[in-house]
Amino acid sequence: MPRMKFYICLISVFLTHLLWADDTLLISIYNRSSLQQVLINPDGAVYTVEGKDLNVSIAPGDWLRITKKEGAFHVQGAKQDFGLHRTLRIRASVSSSLLKVLPENPKKLEQWYGGNIRVEYTLKGLKLLNEVALEEYVAGVVQAESGVDQNKEYYKVQGIICRTFALSNINKHITEGFNLCDQTHCQVYHGKARAKSYIHEALGETQGKVLVDSNLRFIEAVFHSNCGGQTLNSEDYWRGSINYLRSKLDSLCENMPHWSWTFALESDQWLGYLKQKFNFPIHDTIHAYNAKNWHPQYRGKWFLNPGFRIPVRTIREDWRLRSTNFSVVEKDGIVTIIGTGFGHGVGLCQEGAMARSDKESFSDILHFYYENVYIVDKNRVAFYKKYK
pLDDT at 283 over 70: yes
Output the pLDDT for position 387.
64
Mean pLDDT for the stretch of residues 45-53:
94
Output the pLDDT for position 22.
61
pLDDT at 198 over 80: yes
Confidence class of residue 286 from pLDDT cuts 50, 70 and 90? very high
Instruction: Say how far apart CA 142 and CA 372 lie, in whole Å.
Output: 24
Identify residue 287 by its one-letter amino acid code. Answer: H
Tell me if residue 31 falls in helix, strand or coil: coil
Pairing of strands 326-331, 260-266: unpaired
To the nearest whole number, what is the mean pLDDT of the chain?
93
| CA-to-CA separations, 212 to 197, 234, 254, 333, 371, in angstroms, rounded | 28, 17, 29, 51, 11
Confidence class of residue 5 from pLDDT cuts 50, 70 and 90? very low
Poorest-pLDDT segment among 120-124, 241-245, 351-355, 380-384: 380-384
Output the pLDDT for position 388.
61
Confidence class of residue 127 from pLDDT cuts 50, 70 and 90? very high
CB 111 within 8 A of CB 29: yes
pLDDT at 263 over 50: yes
Output the pLDDT for position 386.
61
CB 97 within 8 A of CB 115: no
**In this structure, what DSSP letter does residue 219 have?**
P
Confidence class of residue 382 from pLDDT cuts 50, 70 and 90? confident
**How much helix, strand and coil, in percent to the nearest 5, is found in the chain?**
30, 30, 40
Output the pLDDT for position 287.
98
Mean pLDDT for the stretch of residues 48-60:
94
pLDDT at 185 over 50: yes
Measured over the CA atoms of residue 234, residue 215, residue 177 and residue 138, the dihedral's sign is positive
Mean pLDDT for the stretch of residues 87-114:
95
pLDDT at 4 over 50: no
Instruction: Say how far apart CA 211 and CA 378 lie, in whole Å.
Output: 9
CB 312 within 8 A of CB 187: no
Identify residue 129 by its one-letter amino acid code. Answer: L
% residues pLDDT > 90 (the chain): 87
pLDDT at 203 over 90: yes
Mean pLDDT for the stretch of residues 252-268:
97
Mean pLDDT for the stretch of residues 203-230:
96
Output the pLDDT for position 276.
98
Per DSSP, the chain holds a count of helices (H) and strands (E) of 10, 20
Residues found in the chain: 388
Pairing of strands 73-77, 81-85: antiparallel
Q: Where are the beta strands (DSSP E) in the chain?
A: 24-29, 37-43, 47-51, 54-58, 64-68, 73-77, 81-85, 87-92, 98-105, 111-113, 116-121, 126-133, 180-181, 209-212, 223-224, 260-266, 326-331, 334-340, 348-349, 374-377
Q: What are phi and psi of 26, to 5 degrees?
A: -110, 115
- Sheet containing 24-29: which strands, arranged edge to edge? 54-58, 47-51, 87-92, 116-121, 126-133, 24-29, 180-181
